[in-house]
Amino acid sequence: MMMDDNDIWRRLRFRGEFRDYQRRVLDAAGTHAADGHVHIVAPPGSGKTILGLELIRRHGSRHGGNALVLSPTVAIADQWTNRFVENFEPNDETGNGEPGDAYTDTGDNRINPDGNGLDTTDDNASLLRSMVSDDLHHPKALTSVTYQALHAAVSERDAVNIDDATDTTSTTTESPKDRERRLLAALVDRLVDAGVRIICLDEAHHLRREWQRILEAFVAALRANPRVNNDILVIALTATPPYDANANEWKRYIALCGDIDEEIFTPELVKSGDLCPHQDFVMFGYPTPAETAEIRRFRIKAGDAVRRIVDGDLFAKAVAVAGIAADGRQQHVPPSLYSHPDDYLALLVLMDRRDGMVPPKRLIRLVTTKRMLPRYRMAYAQRAFRFIVGTPELFGKSLSDRLKHELTRLGMTDRGRVCLLDNDGLTRRLVSSAGKLESIGRIVRHESTSMGGRLRMLVLTDYIRADEKRRIGDDGPITSMGLVPIFETIRRTVDATAASAVSGATALNTAAPHMASSDMAIADAKADPADPANDFIPMVGAVSGSLTIMPASLTDDIDRLASLRGVMPAYRPLPDERYCEVDLGSSNGVKTAVVTELVETGLLHVLVGTKSLLGEGWDSPSVNTLVLASTVGSFMLTNQMRGRAIRALAADPGKVANIWHLAAVEPEHLTFSDVGEQTMRWLDPPDDSTIHGDDFAMLRRRFDCFLGPSYVSRSVESGIDRLGVFTPPYDHDGIARINAVMLRRSANRARTAELWRNAVDDTDGRVSQAVQSVRPIAPPRALLLLPLGEILVYAMLSQVVGLMVNVATGMARSSARSGANFGFWPTMLICGAMALVPIGRAVMRWRAVMVPRQSLFALSCAVLDALRGVGAISSDVSTGILPGITADGERTGIGDRMFVTIEDVPAPGLDDERTALRCMAVGGTRREQVVFAETMAELLSPIDNPRYVIVGREWGVREYGVSLPCPAIFARRRRDVEVLRRSLQRRWAGCTIIDTHTEEGRRILLRCRLRSFLNRGGRTPNTVTTMIR
C-alpha cells in the first residue's frame, strides 16, 4: 500500500460499531462538508477522536487526499495515531469500507475491552504504523502533530532545519516577517506534495495568540495554493467552543472552523449510555499550621501598614487633594467624585476610621444607598490606596509615587500593584496548600470503604516532587503537594486503615453532629458499617514521565505485561520495602500501557499520576473515582481531566463516577492576641458569611462550565450552586457540615444515577444558556411609568361613553313612545369595547413594570427583539406570547423560531423563602443563546460604570429607581442603543438613554446607582447551562 495511492483510505475500515450521534454525524457528513468545513462539538469521552478518524477515512476514500491532525498537546497528538492503529484495519474488499461487527464498546471506541489494543495483529499494526507520522518534515497518510510544532516549523528559531532545499544564504538580510512567509510557503508546498487535503483541528481555539495567528495563515495559504484550488476539508472537533468570546473573536473562530454543524451535549450521551452518570463533589480543607502562620503574619503586616499610612500625613494630603473636607463641612461636591464614586467611598470609610477626621455627610449621601458608611474592611483600604497610586492626574505624581514607595517599603505591593488582601505568593501557597493532602487521605479512606474492590481511583496532580522519596515509609511531616507527597499520604492512610482493621476499629467518616436532614434538598444514604468493603485495603501506585512507584507484590504482573511490549523492567527498592521504583524504559507509551492494564484488571486500585502524562489522551474506562489535585486554572485542561472518569464501561453497565475537587479555605478567624490594639482595629473582623480564599473562587468559576445533576431542582445544569449545600455560616462547623454532606452523597452512587435518569428521561438532552436572578422588585414609584397619556384618553373616552349612554337612554325612552327600537344594549357593548384597548394596554404595562415574572419576560422580549434588530442574532424570533408548559407536559412554543421562556427555580444561598426566576432563549444556535443570556445578565446586574444607562421615563419625569445598565453589545454604537430603547419602550416601559461620558451623565449615573432597584437588591444574576424541557 503506497502512500501516493489514491485508494489508500478505501482499503481501510473501522472495526467497530458507531454510537448513535457518530452515525448521525457521519450520515450527514456530505452535507456538512459542502462548505469545506465539518465542525462538531461534543464533550470529553464521547469518541470525538474515532469520529474524526472516520470522517478523514470517508472523505479520503471519496475525494482522495492525506490528513494533517493538529492537537493542543503531545499526549493528544499521540492519541490520534494510537486510535488509528488500534481501531482500523485493512479491508480486503474495495468499496466504502463500512464498519464490521467485531466491536466491543468500552465507552471510548476501543476494540479490546481491556483497552490495550493487543488484539490488533502484528502485521496490521505494522502496516497502520507505517501510514502515520508525527513529523511535519516527513508527512504520511495521517500526520499528527501539535499546534506548537506547526508554529515552530515556521518560526525563526527553527529556520535552519526546516528545509534542506531552502537557500539560507540570504537569511541574514531577511526580516522576521519575510522569513516567516518563506518558511510557511515551503511548509505548504511540502504538505501539498505529500497529498495533504484534509486538516483536522482538535480544540483549535485553546491556543496562544501567536499559535492561532500562524494556524490561520497556514490554512489560508493551503487553500490558496494553486495545486489545491481551495479543495481542502477542515474538520474541527472541540468540547468547549468559545461562546463567550467577543464578536470579532467569534468571527475569527468560525472563519477558521466553519459554522457548528452538530453539537452533542453531555445529557444526551448519558441518556444513550455513551457516558456514565457522574457527579462533582467538593472537599474543603484548611492550610497547614505553617501556612496559616504565614497568612497570619501577612494580615498583621497589612493592618500595621494601613494604620501607619492612614494616621500619617500622606493620607491627610490625599484627602485634601481629593477635595474632601476633613472636618466634615463640605461646601461643594468634587467633580471627580462623579467619575470615581466607589473610590471616594473607600476614602470616606478610612476617614471615619482615623481619629480627628469627620467624613462629610453630604458626600456620604451621594455615594451610599443607605446614606450611611459601611463597616471598615481591608478591601476599602486597598481600593483607596490603589486609587491614590493609580490616579496621578488627580493626586499629583509626587503624592502617588510617595505612597507607592511607602507601601513597597512596608511590603504591601506585588509587581507594582497595591496588595493588602493577598499577593501572588500567598495565593499560590493557598491553592497548592499541603493541607489538601489530608482531604485526599479522607477521600481515599471514604471511597475504599464505599467501593471495596470495585474502586478504581485516579488522583491527578501537577508536580512530581521526586526529592520527597526519602519520606516514603517514615512518619515525618509532609510540607508540599505533588505526586510523591500524595502517594505517601495515601500510603500512610492505607496503613492506618489496615491497622484499625486489625485492632477491630472501624474507620468511617461521619456527618457533623449538628447537621439536620431538613437542610438537604434530597435525602442521601450512608455507607453501611457492616459492609465487607470496610475491611478492604487498596493497592496504590504512582506514575509520571520520569518516576513510577508500584507495590512490590505486583512485580511478576509488571514483568509479564512489559515483556509483551518488548521491555524488561528494572526495580529499585524504596525505604518502605513493600513498594519499589520501576524503570520501564524511556517510552511513556509502554509505561502508560502497563499501568493501564494494572488498573483495568483490578490489580491496582488507586493510581496517582501527573496531569501531563495522564490528564489528557489517557484512557482507562474502568476509572470510577477521580480526584483533581491539580492547580490548573484552564477549563479546557480541567474538562479533559474530568473526561478520564466519565467514560461508560460495557463490563459495568451500572458504573457511576465520582469527581472530587479540592479547595483550601482560609481560616475564618485568626487569633491576634499578641497584636496591639492600634493595629487590631485595622484588621478585618471575623466574617463567616462567605468562603474566603482565591482557591474556592477559582473552583466556582470552573463549575460554571461543568454539567451535572442538581440536588436543588430536577435538572442537569452547570454551576456549583446545583450541589445545594453552600449556605452560611462558613465557620469551622459549617465547612465540616459541607464536607459531611459531600461524603454521604458520594457514597450513594445509585442516587446519582437516579438523578440523571429523572432529569433526562423526558428530554432529548439539549441544553441552553440561561440567566438566573432573584425576583427583582420594582419600587412603588415605578407606577409613575404607567402610560398616563393612555389613561387620560381612557378617562375622556369614559366621559364620551357616558354621554352616549345618556343620549341612547333618552332616545330609547322616546322610541318607546313612538314605537321605534334603537338597540340600547348593542350600543353599550360598542362603547365598552372602545374603552377596552386603553384599559388593556394600561394593565399590561402595569404588569410589565410591577409583576416580577411579567417584567422579566417583557425585558427579555425587548432584548431579544433588539439583538435581532442590530444583527447580533440572525434566527427568526417570536416575542408575542409567554411560552409555558401545558397540562400534558408539552412546551407551548412558536414553531422553529427563537423565543423566551421564564420559569421559577429555587434560589440557593438565600435565607428567606424567595425563589429565583430563570430566563432562557429556546431555539436558534447555541451561540445566539449564549449571547442572549450574557446580554440579559448585564442588563439585570447592579449598575456600575456602563457607557449608557437606561432610565425609566414617562411624560418627561425620570424615575431613577427603575434604571438599568445598557449591555455592552449595544453600547458600541449610538444607533444600536436607540434600537434597544425603542424595543424597551414598546415592550416594557417608557425610558430614556443617558450617555454617562458627559458631566451631566455622570451625575445621573450616580443617582441611578443609589436608587436603582437592581443596586438595592445587590445580587448579581448568574448564567447557567441547563437542559431544555
- Contact (CB, 8 A) for 796 and 945: no
Q: What is the dihedral of CA 549, 551, 552, 554, to 10 degrees?
A: -110
Structure confidence at residue 961 (pLDDT): 82
Structure confidence at residue 113 (pLDDT): 31
Confidence of residue 632 (pLDDT cuts 50, 70, 90): low
Domain identity same for 880 and 946: yes
Q: Which residues contact 788 (CB under 8 A, 6 or more apart)?
A: 954, 955
Q: Which of 765, 780, 810 is the last residue of a domain?
A: 765
Structure confidence at residue 475 (pLDDT): 84
Domain identity same for 300 and 229: no
Residue 956 in this model has a pLDDT that exceeds 80? no
Structure confidence at residue 816 (pLDDT): 54
Residue 961 carries which side chain, given as an amino acid letter? Answer: G
Q: Measured between alpha carbons, how far is 633 from 159 in angstroms, rounded to an integer?
A: 34
Residue 823 in this model has a pLDDT that exceeds 80? no
Residue 965 carries which side chain, given as an amino acid letter? Answer: P
- Which percentage of the chain shows pLDDT scores above 90? 48
**Residue among 901, 896, 892 nearest 923 (CA):** 896
Confidence of residue 514 (pLDDT cuts 50, 70, 90): very low
Residue 761 carries which side chain, given as an amino acid letter? Answer: D
Domain identity same for 348 and 238: no
Average pLDDT, stretch 678-700? 87
Least confidently predicted of 183-192, 207-216, 623-632, 964-973:
207-216
Domain identity same for 471 and 384: no
Domain identity same for 218 and 363: no
Residue with the three cell numbers 384599559: 839
Residue 484 in this model has a pLDDT that exceeds 80? yes
Partners of residue 917 on adjacent β-strands:
773, 904
Q: Measured between alpha carbons, how far is 367 from 337 in angstroms, rounded to an integer?
A: 9
In a domain, 1007, yes or no: yes
Q: Which of 765, 782, 801 is the last residue of a domain?
A: 765
In a domain, 7, yes or no: no
Structure confidence at residue 210 (pLDDT): 80
Sheet (strand 548-551) strand order:
278-285, 657-664, 625-629, 457-461, 606-610, 540-543, 548-551, 579-583, 570-573
Least confidently predicted of 213-222, 910-919, 963-972:
910-919
Confidence of residue 114 (pLDDT cuts 50, 70, 90): very low
* Model confidence pLDDT, tens digit, residues 117-161: 434 456 778 888 899 999 999 999 999 999 999 999 988 554 444
Rg of the chain's alpha carbons, rounded to an integer? Answer: 34
Domain identity same for 760 and 805: no
Phi first, then psi, for residue 169 (nearest 5°) are -70, -25
- Contact (CB, 8 A) for 669 and 686: yes
In a domain, 6, yes or no: no
Average pLDDT, stretch 462-480? 89
Residue 501 carries which side chain, given as an amino acid letter? Answer: A
Of all helices (H) and strands (E), which one includes residue 549? strand 548-551
In a domain, 2, yes or no: no
In angstroms, the Cα distances linking 503 to 57, 403, 496, 500, 506 are: 61, 64, 11, 5, 9
Q: 852 is in which domain, residue-wise?
A: 766-1029
Of all helices (H) and strands (E), which one includes residue 236? strand 233-238
Domain identity same for 941 and 1014: yes
Domain identity same for 349 and 448: no
- Positive or negative, the Cα torsion across 118, 13, 136, 37? negative
Which comes out higher in pLDDT, residue 906 or 957?
A: 906
Structure confidence at residue 655 (pLDDT): 96
By residue count, the chain amounts to 1029
- 3-state SS assignment for residue 341: helix
Residue 957 in this model has a pLDDT that exceeds 60? yes
In a domain, 422, yes or no: yes
Structure confidence at residue 241 (pLDDT): 85
Domain identity same for 886 and 1004: yes
- Structural domains of the chain, count: 4
Extract the runs of DSSP E, i.e. beta strands, from 758-834: 767-774
* Model confidence pLDDT, tens digit, residues 17-38: 898 889 988 999 888 899 999 9
Residue 868 in this model has a pLDDT that exceeds 80? yes
Q: Which of 381, 414, 429 is the last residue of a domain?
A: 429
What stretches of 368-509 show up as alpha helix (H) in DSSP?
378-390, 392-395, 397-409, 424-431, 436-451, 483-503
Domain identity same for 242 and 340: no
Residue 163 in this model has a pLDDT that exceeds 50? no
In a domain, 530, yes or no: no
Q: Supply 252's cell numbers.
A: 475569527
In a domain, 533, yes or no: no
Query: Which CATH number goes with the domain that contains 650?
Result: 3.40.50.300
In a domain, 512, yes or no: no
Domain identity same for 700 and 781: no
Least confidently predicted of 223-232, 276-285, 631-640, 642-651:
631-640
The mean pLDDT value of the chain amounts to 83
Residue 657 in this model has a pLDDT that exceeds 70? yes
Domain identity same for 751 and 808: no
Q: What is the DSSP string of 142-178?
A: EEEEEHHHHHHHTSGGGHHHH-TTS--TTGGG--HHH
* Model confidence pLDDT, tens digit, residues 357-406: 999 999 998 898 778 999 999 999 999 999 999 999 999 999 999 999 99
Q: Which residues contact 65 (CB under 8 A, 6 or more apart)?
A: 59, 195, 196, 197, 198, 233
Residue 941 in this model has a pLDDT that exceeds 80? yes
* Model confidence pLDDT, tens digit, residues 289-344: 999 889 888 999 999 999 999 999 999 999 999 999 999 999 999 999 998 999 99
